[in-house]
């Protein structure tokens, strides 16, 4: 029995792993509060990127998209992706 996954899922897993690795490896080059700030920025950028991808796949009336749309600025980010189905 083989295990297969769609190409989009493999890409998501790869990009998520890359984001986590980059966020944690920052501590090797920079220390202290600068490393935490840069690591946090990397994590935030990765999270927003994945949220945009999720918003494209979900309907406008999905509870998660509506909840995220209540956060100031997030609604603009989600709509900048274009028409969602």
Q: What span, in angstroms and rounded, lies between the C-alpha atoms of 68 and 41? A: 19
15 found inside a domain: yes
pLDDT grade, residue 20 (50/70/90)?
confident
4 found inside a domain: no
64 found inside a domain: yes
Q: 26 with 35: CB under 8 angstroms?
A: yes
Give the per-residue pLDDT at 1.
Answer: 46
pTM: 0.65
18 found inside a domain: yes
Q: What span, in angstroms and rounded, lies between the C-alpha atoms of 15 and 32? A: 26
31 found inside a domain: yes
pLDDT grade, residue 5 (50/70/90)?
low
24 found inside a domain: yes
Q: How many domains does the chain have?
A: 1
Mean pLDDT of all residues belonging to the chain: 79
Q: In sequence order, what are the residues at sequence separation of 6 or more whose Cβ sits closer than 8 angstroms to the Cβ of residue 14?
A: none
């Amino acid at each position: 029995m083989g295990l297969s996954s769609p190409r989009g899922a493999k890409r998501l897993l790869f990009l998520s792993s890359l984001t986590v690795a980059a966020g944690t490896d920052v501590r090797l080059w920079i220390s202290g509060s600068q490393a935490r700030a840069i690591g946090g920025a990397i994590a935030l950028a990765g999270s927003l990127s994945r949220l945009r991808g999720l918003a494209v796949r979900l309907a406008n009336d999905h509870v998660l998209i509506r909840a995220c749309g209540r956060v100031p600025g997030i609604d603009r980010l989600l709509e900048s992706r274009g028409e969602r189905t």
